[in-house]
Amino acid sequence: MSTLHTLPLHERPAARLSYVGSAGVSQVELLALLIGGPDQLDIAQAVVQRFGDTLPQALTDELLAIPGIGAATAARIRAALELGRRFAHGQDTDRRQISSPSDAADILMALIGHAEQECFAVLYLDIRNRVQDQEILYRGTLNTTHIRPAEIFRGAVRRNAGAVLVGHNHPSGDPRPSPEDRDITRTLIQSGKLVEIDVVDHVIIGRNRWTSLRQTGGELWEALPGVTR
């Protein structure tokens, strides 16, 4: 028998939310309301036990591995987490304009700054450098063999983006670029020229710090004919 069915009606998540408000219910209860169904509490408990505070970084495939979670439920959980992140940081990334590296760093800090493993993210921009979409493409140890320009620019073409801004985090907390970071940036700039999609910047996120390769390594852009700063 599911845990939900053993509880009196007034102790079930939906009733408790009405009685005590959102601040008075637990993480498990909030998740249970997103999940729904007779097994909501059991499934929510399994999610919390599996991910804990790392739930915001959970991939869809990882959520689907939890028994009882289907594609629609995984999508609801991801959407709720993203809404919470945007409201918490006061960001509507669909309309945010990138006018300086710090604008990009604010978005990337919220998106990947808390991750315990390396993550490579892409901000897809329109011709006015407004953020159309954002995506974490890679997780884990990053190198030039893992980063595939075709995948990055395929996403840009699909969104009809005029430019991209890429970023990744250094879990060590030190945002200084490595030689490999510079190699990845150079490759992306060159690939972007071939498909006429600019790489605006590559921002590296550390622990409450960041580095813009456009600012510190502008020669990567200047070295390519036809690429202006």
Mean pLDDT by 10 residues, the chain (229 residues): 77 84 84 91 92 83 91 89 71 69 89 86 92 86 72 90 94 90 92 93 90 83 49
Q: What is the pLDDT of residue 169?
A: 93
Sign of the Cα torsion 187, 181, 60, 18 reads negative
Q: Are residues 49 and 65 in contact, defined by beta-carbon separation less than 8 angstroms?
A: no
C-alpha 160 chain-centroid distance: 20
Please state, in angstroms and as integers, the Cα–Cα distance from residue 22 to each residue in 15, 85, 91, 99, 172, following that order. 11, 16, 22, 36, 35
- Which pLDDT score is estimated for 203? 95
* Residue 131 CB contacts under 8 Å (≥ 6 apart), including other chains: 93, 94, 95, 96, 97, 98, 107, 123, 124, 125
Q: What is the pLDDT of residue 205?
A: 93
Q: Identify the helix (H) or strand (E) that includes residue 184.
A: helix 179-195
pLDDT at 156: 92
pLDDT for 59 equals 81
Q: What per-residue confidence (pLDDT) applies to 2?
A: 65
Cβ–Cβ under 8 Å, residues 138 and 147: yes
Summary mean pLDDT of the chain = 84
